Amino acid sequence: MRVTVGKGSCGIAAGAADVYQALEAGLQNTGHELLTTGCIGMCYLEPIVNVDERVFVKVTKEAAGELLKYILGEENQAERYLIPREDLDNLNGQQRIALKNCGLINPEDIEEYIAREGYEAIKKCVGSLTPEQVIEEIKLSGLSGRGGAGFPTWFKWNAARASAGEKKYVICNADEGDPGAFMDRAVIEGDPHALIEGMLIAAYAIGSDEGIVYVRAEYPLAIVRLELALEQARACGCLGQHIFGGDFCFDIRIKAGAGAFVCGEETALIASLEGERGMPRLKPPFPAQKGCWQKPSNINNVETYANVPWILRNGGAAFAALGTENSKGTKVFALTGKIAKGGLAEVPMGQTVGEVVFGVGGGIKNGRALKAVQMGGPSGGCIPAELCDTPIDYRSLAATGAIMGSGGMVVMDDSTCMVDMARFFLDFTCKESCGKCIHCRIGNRRMLEILERICKGEGLDGDIELLSDLAFQIKEGSLCALGQTAPNPVLTTLRYFRNEYEDHIFRKKCTARQCKPLLTYSISGKCTGCTLCARKCPVGAISGTVKQPHAIDSDKCTKCGKCAEICRFGAVEVE
């Protein structure tokens, strides 16, 4: 039997390494094959173990013993760990291109990638297509950048090819910085050769002999697997000098970045590659004209490159047949937050936000109501539940005030305070700003201070108007996309959840009961006088006698919530 353990970062975090060790010890000298794979996207079911065609989920170290009995033909209870049919149908119902091999092949074995049409696309390009024909195929596909901007990929490639100069660079932006986004990490950990082959095709198209993968150092497993994949590709003649015996030469090196969100902007990334502080610069000239070391450079992210081999194997028209008129192909989304089935999903463009959340994502945790979905990370915006029939394409999302971004979908239920959510994202962008622009450096800080005041119950009449005014000035005055999009979470929450801002400012209430300074704790007549809350209160704010209703001294209460958490009778009321 072929036994495969999912050992992406999510699987390892859930205990897959222990499961692997237990299986390894039990399968020694049995003739069964034990292998590693990456994340298949169902992070909520990790650790996942495949035994031939059967999928077992939530396999603990103890459960591995039952799987061993099953593999060895002994009496067992492994059936209880089989994947539910609904989850398997959700996986099989996806249209997987960028994630085609993730969770299915051993990322540490190039032969498994080759067995699934790996490196056939670059072989086709070198053997029978001109660089212009390759670019034309990408143009026909309608592939746009999956890193956030959605710029036509063929246009960037064509501009780099047309730029004068013998030395050109192909750069991969793997500096995935959005909170809740992990698509690029999963691709590198699960299918690194797809990235390598995509970069090879881009290099052939623009006339480059050197590639750089700029990956954040916080992705150690991705770096290890990518380094191994590069070594194997060189050994097989798929990378390096005279690829496939021809004149095409191209090699790739890795640059581990320090994890600055602003380095997702291409000119800031280039500055970091050159050893400078990661700060954006004015454009033009664009990187395709003067990029890394002032040489023409093409920059795409991991997901963009991972789509390229499929396009060249199947034709641009096949990719363009998926999606909508203005947004072609598929998109990978990272589902996080208050969603029942968190993980990765790859679906054709044009599916609605609700179809992804309630279909692949399984709806909201604990049966609560959907309130909003944050699309596009800290640079995106909140889409309210009533707009969840919005198609996932660039134009439709932009009309709501959100953006596609790199594909993060942070799901929020009715317990989420939208003012606090806007504060959270703005706090992130303030910390990640490079500080070059006054509008971004100071303007966003002033907005954050206002939001912090509002969440503390210190909001003032006029704060809403001031936030809106500052937001538009920051968008207009900032140099790069970080500053230009940083106000989006504030603007969209003001647009769709203005009532929550008004409640915070004028009623001094947080209806979602998340902003502690605005909460009031009291004890109702349901109190039986068990004294548990009084004994557990860390500041002695609760008084009362045994079997008599207790009371909370609001002046002493720190609003820690301990009393409400431990009360067995629902007597503690929070308003």
Residues 6+ apart with CB under 8 A from 469: none
The residue count of the chain comes to 575
Whether residue 377 sits in one domain with residue 338? yes
The verdict on 434 and 537 lying in the same domain is no
Q: Which of 384, 413, 442 is the last residue of a domain?
A: 413
Distance, CA of 43 to chain centre: 12
For the domain that residue 553 is a member of, what is the CATH number?
3.30.70.20
Q: Is residue 98 part of a domain?
A: no
**What's the confidence (pLDDT) of residue 406?**
82
Q: Which of 375, 392, 413 is the last residue of a domain?
A: 413
Asked if residue 404 and residue 422 are part of one domain, the reply reads no
Domain annotation covers residue 100? no
* Closest-CA residue to 10 (of 186, 178, 228): 186
Q: Are 154 and 267 within one domain?
A: yes
How many folded domains does the chain comprise? 5
CATH number of the domain enclosing 478: 1.20.1440.230
**Is 486 within the bounds of a domain?**
yes
pLDDT in tens, 71-82: 999 999 999 999
Q: What is the pLDDT of residue 245?
A: 86
Q: HSE-up of 15 (CA within 13 Å, CB side)?
A: 15
pLDDT for 260 equals: 87
Tens digit of each residue's pLDDT, the chain (575 residues):
899 999 999 999 999 999 999 999 999 989 999 999 999 999 999 999 999 989 999 999 889 999 999 999 999 999 999 999 999 988 888 999 999 999 999 999 999 999 999 999 999 999 999 999 999 999 999 999 988 778 999 999 999 999 999 999 999 999 988 888 899 999 999 999 999 999 999 999 999 999 999 999 999 999 999 999 999 999 999 999 999 988 999 999 999 998 788 998 999 999 999 999 999 999 999 999 999 999 999 999 999 999 999 999 999 999 999 999 889 999 999 999 999 999 999 999 999 999 999 999 999 999 999 999 999 888 889 999 999 999 999 999 999 999 888 888 999 999 999 999 999 999 999 999 999 999 999 999 999 999 999 999 999 999 999 999 999 999 999 999 899 999 999 999 999 999 999 999 999 999 999 998 999 999 998 999 999 999 999 999 999 999 999 999 989 999 888 999 999 999 999 98
Both 208 and 313 in a single domain? yes
pLDDT of 177? 81
What is the domain range of residue 500?
418-507
At residue 213, the pLDDT reads 98
Alpha-carbon dihedral 93, 99, 104, 109, rounded to 10 degrees: 170
If asked whether residues 443 and 561 sit together in one domain, one would say no
pLDDT recorded at residue 409? 93
Q: Same domain, yes or no, for 486 and 525?
A: no
pTM of the entire predicted model: 0.93
Do both 176 and 244 map to the same domain?
yes
Same domain for 304 and 229 = yes
29, 55, 87 — which closes off a domain? 87
Same domain, 210 and 353: no
Question: CA 393, 394, 397 angle in degrees (round to 5)?
Answer: 80
pLDDT score for 258: 86
Give the pLDDT of residue 96. 95
The CB density around residue 293, as the number of other CB atoms within 10 Å, is: 11
Residue 325 lies in a domain: no
Q: Is residue 428 included in any domain, yes or no?
A: yes
